[in-house]
Structure 1
Amino acid sequence: MKVKHLITIILMTPLVAFAEASTCYGTTSNGRLSHGVKLPSEGKNFVTYSTMARLAGRTYVHSEVRSIIVAAYKDIEAEQPDKVYKYAETGFEEGGEFKPHKTHRNGLSVDFTTPVKDKSGKSVHLPTTPFNKLGYNIEFDANSQYDGLYIDYEAMAAHVVALHKQAKKHGHDLWRVIFDPKLKPNLFKTKYGEYLKTNVQFSKRASWVRHDDHYHVDFDIPCK
């Protein structure tokens, strides 16, 4: 084979072909990650919570988690074409301590920004700026409202279901979903309620940080 042709093949071969699968170690609260991969900055129906945070290396996950997340967004694109989503903090490329989070240490923990609707009912992104700590300083009231925005429980429920179904397709599962216990019952009032009750494990206790502006998902993938 001529050198010129060999170089052409190398340049045209997708980089993903050379990527190694991730390996997680330990637990979400005491672990690390090998060969972590970064989530895409955006897709047709999703975006990252912060370009700067992404560039700072705060959106790495296990390779299987990335595949599940991207596939789930694709599924929702067909089922809920008018909904938009945003993901938040995940972890570092090699895992380990990830302040201010107590978990997110082995590539299996992902925060997703709570989907919202404006007053007209249109699906919009929750604002994530340095002024509200990239969304983590937002507080929804008892009516699921914040500054003219309302939690879109239908969109959120559809997303959790899509994540669970894709996790199962990939031979894995969801370990748990953490969301504000006082707001969580609203998810079960959606058309996805029965599926969620039957298949998804939600944390029953309030976390040390209120999970209303985001929902935390831990994926159940074997680690060493």
Structure 2
Amino acid sequence: MRPFSVGAMLAATILCAPALASTCFGSSASGRIEGAVALPLAGANFAAYSELGRKLGRTYVHAQVRDVVLGAYSALSRSTPDVQYVYGETGLRTGGPMPPHRTHENGTSVDFMVPVRGRDRKPTPLPRIAHNHYGYDLEFDDAGKLADLHIDFAAIAAHLAQLDLAARRRGLGIARVILAPEYIPRVLATPAGQRLKSLPFMKTRPWVRHDEHYHVDFAVTCAT
């Protein structure tokens, strides 16, 4: 049986099901949400950063954001089947503050852990254990290296391109991408990078470096 085969069946079922109604309020920095849904624990080519984090209710999103995220993963399972993606924290079931994040309050924000390759240049799982806060405490250098690990910038670019496409197909968009500034040129220089030049990458340096993950705010119409 393939890894995550049960999760893949679950993801496929969700993709085919009617979208649940979610209503977001305010902004990602000050807001809440009603009718949020949790992302699946795993699928054919993706997994949550932490089963514990999901059990604690830290992976809820707007239903439309859920559909965008899973739609992108489905496309990537065909275009880059060797890459295993990992999503990070998203938000709480009713939104509101979720320390230590300064955003993630209304179901429109998703953290994605960086895909990595090992010394043999083959995709390898990102180390995610309690000691490193399930990947959030890893520190990559300016070239995207950490010991034998190398950030797969091409896989990041392919992922962002599919997120953008999936969002547009659903009448949404991407409002902001936060990534360590020194990594942005490396992402744009990859084969899929040409499709990302119009994405709203954050120009200023974020309050935390965002080297082990990239943050995406989706453009969803929310109530005030």
The normalised TM-score by structure 2 is 0.90
Match in the other structure for 1:182: 182
Measure how far apart 1:17 and its partner are.
6.6
Change (3 A) 1:142 1:19: closer
Match in the other structure for 2:49: 49
Aligned equivalents of 2:45, 2:18: Cα separation in 1? 28
Measure how far apart 1:20 and its partner are.
4.0
Aligned equivalents of 1:162, 1:113: Cα separation in 2? 16
Aligned equivalents of 2:172, 2:190: Cα separation in 1? 25
Match in the other structure for 1:5: none
Measure how far apart 1:18 and its partner are.
8.8
Aligned equivalents of 2:190, 2:18: Cα separation in 1? 42
Aligned equivalents of 1:99, 1:60: Cα separation in 2? 15
Match in the other structure for 2:214: 215
Match in the other structure for 1:206: 205
Measure how far apart 1:200 and its partner are.
1.1
Measure how far apart 1:182 and its partner are.
1.1
For residue 135 of structure 2, give the secondary structure of its aligned residue in structure 1: coil
Aligned equivalents of 1:143, 1:102: Cα separation in 2? 27
Change (3 A) 1:17 1:74: closer
Measure how far apart 1:125 and its partner are.
2.0
Match in the other structure for 1:68: 68
Deviates more, 1:72-81 or 1:125-134: 125-134
Match in the other structure for 2:10: none
Question: Matched residue pairs, number?
Answer: 210
Change (3 A) 1:77 1:17: closer
Q: RMSD in angstroms over aligned alpha carbons?
A: 1.6
Matched residue type, 1:124: T
Measure how far apart 1:19 and its partner are.
7.5
CA deviation profile, 1:74-101 (whole Å, cap 9, x unmatched): 0011111111100000010100011000
Match in the other structure for 1:135: 135
Match in the other structure for 1:126: 126
Match in the other structure for 1:144: 144
Measure how far apart 1:210 and its partner are.
0.6
The normalised TM-score by structure 1 is 0.90
Aligned equivalents of 2:77, 2:202: Cα separation in 1? 27
For residue 218 of structure 2, give the secondary structure of its aligned residue in structure 1: strand
Misfit runs of 4+, over 3 Å? 14-20
The percent of aligned pairs where both chains have the same amino acid is 43
Match in the other structure for 1:87: 87
The answer as to 2:157 corresponding to 1:157 is yes
Matched residue type, 2:176: R
Segments of structure 2 that go 5 or more residues without pairing to the other structure are: 1-12
Change (3 A) 1:191 1:57: same
2:19·2:64 contact (CA, 8 Å) conserved in 1? no
Larger radius of gyration: 1
Aligned equivalents of 1:162, 1:214: Cα separation in 2? 17
Aligned equivalents of 2:18, 2:207: Cα separation in 1? 40
CA deviation profile, 1:196-222 (whole Å, cap 9, x unmatched): 11x311001110001010000000000
Match in the other structure for 1:25: 25
